[in-house]
Structure 1
Amino acid sequence: MQDEDIDLSDIPEVTEAQMRKAVLRVGGEPVERNQRHVALVLDASVVEYFEAKAGEQGYRALMNQVLAEYVHLKKVEPRS
């Protein structure tokens, strides 16, 4: 089955208010929704790539999104 073959007509869109109330979980454990400022040294080509791709979103936000997706997909666990 292809994505376009799936009938989503009875599934309502998630609202911003619902997303604000959502509980983020990693490995089943609740995770606080906060951000931390960090200083990184990155290759210039990496920063230039994200700057070119980000548009109005901003390259820092795009980098955060890409890293968060990677962590989710790879199920990266914190080291002890």
Structure 2
Amino acid sequence: MTTKRKFHIPDAAEDAALTKAAESDADNRPLTDAQLKRMRPARDALPRMIGEKAAAAVLRKPGRPSMPSDQHKVRTTIRLDPDLIDAFKGTGDGWQSRMNDALREWANSHGMILGR
């Protein structure tokens, strides 16, 4: 099974029918060439429209922010008791970070690492 999407390119007749249908919709008319020419990327237009701070929030890249390489987490496999995992999972999203914080707190309290 392929997960690649298949696109249908309309022929001239289909394209004409689609254009005619779009032009007949009074609430959502196609943009004119002049309107298309005036368009600008959101990164250029939004700061003037809604302000720098709001635009930065809207335009931020999805996902986690990048971190310096010395702060990256290390993927590992560890075997823990099911009740311990359930207890942390029961605290909701972010349970792995809370588990990391608990381990860090214990290691700091036992002089194993210097606090960050």
- Structure of higher RCO (CA pairs closer than 8 Å, 6+ residues apart): 1
TM range (shorter): 0.3 to 0.5
The TM-score, its normalising length taken from structure 1, stands at 0.47
Structure (1/2) with the larger strand percentage? 1
The TM-score, its normalising length taken from structure 2, stands at 0.34
